[in-house]
Structures are given as C-alpha cells and as structure tokens.
Amino acid sequence: MARSSAVTPVITTLGLLAVACGGSTPPRPEPAPVAKSTAIVGATLWDGTGRAPVPNAVTLVRNDRILCAGAAGECIVPAGSRVIDARGRYLIPGLIDSHVHLLFITRGSAGEELGLDLRDLLAQGITTVRDMGTDPAGLLSRVRSLHAAPRVHAMQLVAGRRFFFNGFHGTPTARGTIYRQPPAMAMQQLGWNPIQFDPESDAEAVVAQAREAGAMGLKLYAQLDSGSVRRLTQAAHRAGMPVWGHAWVQPASVMEQVTGSQDGVVHAAGLAGELFTVEDRDTLVRDGDLQAATAAVATVGAAHDPRVLAALDSMARKGTMFEPTLDAVRHSVASYDAKLRHIPSLQEEYVRSASRFGMEVTREAVRRGVSISAGSDHVAYGPASDRATLFGELRLLVDSIGLSPTAALLAATRDAARAIGGQPGRQVGTIQKGRYADLVLLAKNPLDDIGNLEYVELVMVGGKVWRPGQLRSGIAMR
C-alpha cells in the first residue's frame, strides 16, 4: 500500500510535464449540431386548447416537436430558421380520425390499397388515426414500411365465444342450403385477428396478448355480457390501456358498459339495445337477428325513450365518450337510394332505421353534454367514393346535429386525442409546446365554415412537411 501511494504523485507530475512540453491531450468530442427550427409565421393560429384564434401568429418547430406557438411577440424566430410565410392562412392541429379500419387482406396481400389510402388521409390533413379492430401486429408492421402516413394506433378486437362458435347452420333455399359461418371466421379471412374471451377466461392474459401485438387498447365487439365487460375494462385500465366498445355488444347494453367504466362507445344506432331487456338481448346471436330487432324499434321517437336518455345521461356524468359514425350510415343509405331497381330487404330497412334513429340519438347526446369524438368508420377498401370520411362526419355534426364549426373541430382534434387516450393521446390534438408537430395549414377559415377544411395547403407530421398534391401524385413514394 505504501508503494502505490508513492507512485501516484510521480505519474501525475509526469502527466503535467508532458502537457507543459507540448504533449497532446485526449480530443474532446465535438458538440452535436443544433437542429434548425422551422417557423410558420403570419397565420391565424387556432391551437385547439380553447384559446381564441391568434392572428399573425408564430409557430416554431424543432425536429418533431413544437417549441412555441403564439403571438409574434411570444415566439422569437431563431436565426437561421426555415421560415414558412403563412400570411392570410389558418393553422390548426393535425386532424384525428378516431375510427378507421385499414387492413383488408385479399388474395394473401394488402396490395397497394393501404399505402394509397393512408397517403390520401394525410393529404386531407388527417395526421392521426385509430384503427378500431383489424390485426394490430400485421397492420403496424405494414405501416412502418411506408414513407408517408398518419400516425396509426391500433385497438385489439375482443369478442365472446358465440362470435367464434355460433354453429355452422344451414338455411334451405330453392337453390340449395346456405351455410352461415361464424362472424369471426369472416373477419379472419380478411386478415383480422379477433381474440376470444369467455366468462372463465383470464382478462389479464387477453390484455397482455393485445399489448404484445402492439395494440394500445381494447375494442369490445360482440357477445360479451356485463361481467365480461367489467373484467376486461378493469384489466386494461390496470395496464394503462383504454377500452371502447360497440354501443350494445350483445348482450351488454350501453348502460352496462358505462357502469363497467368503459371509456367510450361507438355507433349511435347501437343505443337501440337500451330498448330490450337483458334476456331479449341475449337471444340476438346472429347479425340478422340484431338487424331485424333494430329495424323494428329504432325510430326517431324511440331516441327519446327514457331508457335511451338514461344511458346518455350516464355517459355524460361518467365522461364516457361517443363516436356516432354517422357518415358511414349515410353512405349506406345513399347506396340504396342510387339503386335503379329497388328490391326491399331487411338490410335496407335496418340501414334506414339506423340512420334516422342514430341522428336523433346523437342530437340528444349533444344536448345532454356527452363528449363527442369524430370517428368516421372509414375503410381502406373498395371504391373511394363509397368510403366514409372524417370530412363527411364533421359536415354531418355541423349541418345535421347542430354543432358549431369550432365544436366539430374540437371533436376531431383535442377531444379525439382524449378518445385515443394513454400516452399517444397526450402528444397530439393541440398546438402546444412539447407536443408532436402535427399541423395543417388551410387557405380558408374552418371556424367560418367547416367545409373550408377542404382547402389544405400543407400538412406537417412530426415536423415533416407534405403538400396534398405531392402525396396524391405519388411523389411521396420517391
């Protein structure tokens, strides 16, 4: 020990002499270059927080985050920034469609439809979407390979045993016997991956399976009773995951879902389930049964039934959110109106009843203070003209339901982010310091007319700027 302590000063002294005689010192690492900022200047800023629009605003972005957003005096543009002159334009948060279905496997492949559809959504100013039930792992792996796309968050679809095993039963017809397969099998043939949950199943295991697949929440679909809804919701919430479900997941009603602390419900027509007893609901196993039952009771007057209103009041009181998905039903009605040859059918009767009832239910929901999220039920499949759109949903919320353009915009930004929930939802939906730089620049004021959302000049996702023509022309692929 004595020898070691004696050597130490000698080594230190020799090191100092080497420096004095011009010896080299270890090189210091160069500091990382500071990323340049992008400044959007001169626009009228609507940040989605509830603050009044800010004229002649400055919004600063560095990398994928917002540094500052406010009046010119609040945000100083750093020297060397890239400046986007936005005088006479309107800057809003990136739009959120909280209800889409993106993955449709045909002949073993998703083809180009998915990439084309996502680029078109981005060109519309939609910077975040929530897929409400396909195959989270398969979908997210495909999205990661795309050059230009909105942020995609996936929910894991969960249903009860009868959704998977309601029996192959035959219906005799003049042309032979028609065999009906369980709904889950039809979904699986499209490449979807629903998870089965039985009353004796382990809810924690279902949540773990969903998380492993990349899902950020659960979508409860069908054939789940109130006890199953409660157990799944509690397990998901313990894992920090939101839970949404169909309004009426056969047999659990909206009231039962709200009592089970579910975060939100989708499809306004599903409130027709409140008009049946739990015993009646339990007998509606097949889709055709559900459609016939809805067509029989879903009238405009039924939307004011005390049982429906009680469910809406409970939603408002507990903060359970609501996605009416009105535009999808409107498209279905329009397809029947366009037919040259009219052949009455149960499907048409159901669609028309669902449309009238759903509209009136949504008006009641708004009157009673239920929080609305703008989800379109858009699908990345088939002719584009047949697809529900976020723009169409917002148009209906303003023109048919009576929301102001500002309230409709909140349903597609701040409130839609709350609907997504979790950490993903806390990083989008408003233009604030620290949030993702997801922005839309419009040529016209959407607060005057919600139709002005069509006038998109540029879209920013995580600080990266895209032009609508660039996205739709295919240049974004190069």
Instruction: Count CB atoms within 10 A of the CB of residue 27.
Output: 6
Q: Residue 155: beta bridge partners?
A: 217
pLDDT of amino acid 109: 61
Q: What amino acid is encoded at 434 in this protein? A: G
| CB of 194 closer than 8 Å to CB of 221 | yes
Mean pLDDT by 10 residues, the chain (478 residues): 42 41 55 74 97 97 97 92 97 98 77 86 98 94 93 97 71 49 84 94 98 97 95 98 93 96 97 92 76 91 98 98 97 91 88 96 98 96 89 98 98 98 96 98 98 98 95 69
pLDDT at 13: 40
Please state whether beta strands 464-466 and 37-45 pair in parallel, antiparallel, or not at all (unpaired): unpaired
Residue 265 lies in a domain: yes
Judge whether 467 lies within some domain: no
Contact in structure between 91 and 43 (CB atoms under 8 Å): yes
Q: CB–CB of 237/261 below 8 Å?
A: yes
Q: What is the Cα–Cα distance from 426 to 423, expressed in whole angstroms?
A: 5
Q: How far is it, in rounded angstroms, from Cα 307 to Cα 61? A: 49
Range of the domain at 269: 95-429
**Confidence (pTM):** 0.89
**Whether 318 contacts 347, CB under 8 Å:** no
Tens of pLDDT, residues 352-400: 999 999 999 999 999 999 999 999 999 988 888 889 999 999 999 999 9
pLDDT at 107: 62
Q: What is the pLDDT of residue 341?
A: 85
Q: Is residue 435 part of a domain?
A: no
Of the CA atoms within 13 Å of residue 333, those in its CB half-sphere come to 14
| Number of domains making up the chain | 1
Q: What angle do CA 389, 308, 410 make, to 5 degrees?
A: 35
Residue 155 included in any domain: yes
Tell me the DSSP string of 380-432: SSS-GGGS--HHHHHHHHHHTT---HHHHHHHTTHHHHHHH-HHHHTTSSS--
* 41/55 Cα distance (integer angstroms): 10
Strand (E) or helix (H) holding 160: none
Q: How far apart are the first and last CA of the chain?
A: 68
Are 448 and 406 in contact, with CB atoms under 8 Å apart? no
**What is the structure's pLDDT at 180?**
63
In a domain, 89, yes or no: no
Which tokens is 164 given?
A: 């998977």
Helices (H) and strands (E) in the chain, counts: 18, 19
Question: Is residue 411 in some structural domain?
Answer: yes
H/E stretch holding 333: helix 326-337
Q: Could you give the CA distance from residue 435 to residue 430 in angstroms, rounded to a whole number? A: 8
Read off the CATH number of the domain in which 128 is found: 3.20.20.140
Task: Tell me if 60 is assigned to some domain.
Answer: no
- Cα separation, 409 vs 79, whole angstroms: 34
Residue whose pair of structure tokens reads 């949950």 in the numeric block: 197
Q: Which of 456, 438, 437, 436 is CA-nearest to residue 446?
A: 456
- Asked whether residue 191 is domain-assigned, the answer is yes
